[in-house]
C-alpha cells in the first residue's frame, strides 16, 4: 500500500504587511526571548517590562511558560521531545506576532540551546534577542515561588530542569541579566537601553 505524502502548505503572504503594521503602531516589532532556570525572574521581568512599554504607547504581547502551558501547549509534558515541541510552537506564534507588528516578550526556561537557536533562525537577523536571566540554582531553589524544586527534590516532578534534567546556558546571548544580584529596576533599565533604537 502506497503511503500518501502531503506537501507542506506554502506560507501565504499576509494581507497587511509587517511594515504596514509597524507604521500604524509607530514602532518596530521585535522578539525578546528570556531564558533561565525556574525562579530566575523571567516572568517578573517580562510582565514589568510589558507594563512599562505599554505605558510608553508600545504594542506588546507576553508569552510565558505558565500561560502557554494552560492553552497552546496544554497537551505536552516535560520530556525532552515535549519541551522541544513547546519551544517550536511558541517560536511559530512569536513569528506571527512579529509579523503583526508587536513587541513579543517570551519568558520560558527553554533549556536546550538547539531549540532556542531554531527559534532564532525563524526570525530575520536582529529581530530575535536572547536574554539570559542568570541566577544560581541555589538562589532559585531558595525562592521556589511555586514549590516545584521541593517537589522535584522529593522525586514528585520528573525531568525537572536544573535537578533531573539539564539546562544549557546561552553561549552568546544578546544580554545577560544578573537576576541574582541586581534589582528588577536595574534589569529593566538595561532592557530599555537595549531596546533604544531598535523599536
Domain range summary for the chain, segments of one domain joined by +: 21-195
- State the average pLDDT over residues 46-63: 96
The runs of H, that is alpha helices, within 26-127 are 42-55, 65-70, 80-99, 113-122
User: CA 50, CA 44: separation in Å to the nearest integer?
Assistant: 10
When mean pLDDT is compared across 25-29, 71-75, 161-165, 166-170, the lowest value belongs to: 71-75
pLDDT attached to residue 91: 95
- State the average pLDDT over residues 158-181: 94
pLDDT attached to residue 83: 84
Residue 43: phi and psi, rounded to 5, are -65, -40
Catalytic residues: 110
C-alpha cell at 190: 538595561
Domain at 21-195, CATH homologous superfamily: P-loop containing nucleotide triphosphate hydrolases (3.40.50.300)
User: CA 6, CA 128: separation in Å to the nearest integer?
Assistant: 31
pTM: predicted TM-score of the whole model, two decimal places: 0.90
Q: Give burial (CB, 10 Å; 0-12/13-18/19+) of 114.
A: exposed
More confident of the two residues 75 and 160 = 160
pLDDT attached to residue 106: 97
Residue 169 has pLDDT above 80, yes or no: yes
Mapping DSSP to helix (H, G, I), strand (E, B) and coil, where does residue 5 land?
coil
User: CA 54, CA 59: separation in Å to the nearest integer?
Assistant: 6
Query: What pLDDT digit, counting tens, does each position of 79-91 carry?
Result: 778 888 989 999 9
Amino acid at each position: 500500500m502506497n503511503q500518501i505524502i502531503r506537501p507542506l502548505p506554502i506560507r501565504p503572504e499576509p494581507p497587511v504587511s509587517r511594515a504596514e503594521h509597524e507604521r500604524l503602531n509607530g514602532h518596530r516589532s521585535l522578539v525578546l526571548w528570556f531564558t533561565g532556570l525556574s525562579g530566575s525572574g523571567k516572568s517578573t521581568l517580562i510582565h514589568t517590562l510589558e507594563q512599562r512599554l505599554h505605558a510608553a504607547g508600545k504594542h506588546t504581547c507576553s508569552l510565558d511558560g505558565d500561560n502557554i502551558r494552560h492553552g497552546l501547549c496544554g497537551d505536552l509534558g516535560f520530556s525532552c521531545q515535549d519541551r522541544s515541541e513547546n519551544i517550536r510552537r511558541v517560536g511559530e506564534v512569536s513569528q506571527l506576532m512579529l509579523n503583526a507588528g508587536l513587541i513579543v516578550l517570551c519568558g520560558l526556561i527553554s533549556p536546550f540551546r538547539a531549540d532556542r537557536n531554531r527559534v532564532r533562525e525563524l526570525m530575520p537577523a536582529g529581530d530575535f534577542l536572547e536574554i539570559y536571566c542568570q541566577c544560581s540554582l541555589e538562589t532559585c531553589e531558595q525562592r521556589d515561588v511555586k514549590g516545584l524544586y521541593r517537589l522535584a527534590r522529593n522525586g514528585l516532578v520528573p525531568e525537572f530542569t536544573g535537578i533531573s534534567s539539564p539546562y544549557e546556558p546561552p553561549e552568546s546571548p544578546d544580554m545577560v541579566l544578573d537576576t541574582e544580584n541586581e534589582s528588577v529596576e536595574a534589569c529593566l533599565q538595561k532592557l530599555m537601553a537595549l531596546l533604544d533604537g531598535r523599536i
